[in-house]
Amino acid sequence: MKPTTRKLLLATLSSFVFLLAINGALFPIFFPEGPPEHYVGERAAPLLGYHLLAFLITAFLMTYLYPLIYRGGAAWKEGLRVGVIMALFVSLPENLHVYASANISFVKLLLPAVWVTVIWGMAGVVIGLIYRRGPVNSEEFGPRENKKEIHRFQTGGS
């Protein structure tokens, strides 16, 4: 397995576990009555498998995006940036749509958006620390065309 594939899988799994642990431990404390919005036809109990799938997709997408938008900063800052950007793309517009459709306080809907931004930012830090623990590796982040040139340089032209 390639090192980049290994890092993708490790970072995805680690951020998935982090999202599950933090949400499982802290969400009930900050939102004891559950999410502030309620829906017509709401289930008596949520389908847990779909929540798990949503966390897994979130973890994978953040992990996949990390090397694409990496700018060379400190690992934790780059990961935080990825998590916050993705959270803002998802949570802020979604909560504004809910506010537009539901009779609920704007502040009550803003709190979950802040929650997602903070938690996803922290998950991004986990991803950043896995992807970028050491110095920049040109093999890992360089364009595909340059890999042959880098290999030739490293091996003395062979």
Residue 146 lies inside a defined structural domain of this protein: yes
Is 132 part of any domain? yes
Asked if residue 39 is part of any domain, the answer here is no
40 found inside a domain: no
pLDDT digits (tens, 9 = 90+) for 40-80: 778 888 899 999 999 999 999 999 999 888 888 899 999 99
Tell me how far apart the alpha carbons of residues 9 and 4 are, in angstroms, rounded to a whole number: 9
Mean predicted lDDT score pLDDT of the chain: 84
pLDDT tens-digit map of 82-107:
999 999 999 999 999 988 988 888 98
Domain count, the chain: 1
Q: Alpha-carbon distance 140 to 80, whole Å?
A: 20
- Residue 63 is assigned to a structural domain of this protein: yes
Q: Is there a domain that residue 38 lies in?
A: no
Residue 104 lies in a domain: yes
Domain with 99 in it:
3-33+45-155
**Residue 62, φ and ψ in degrees, nearest 5:** -65, -40
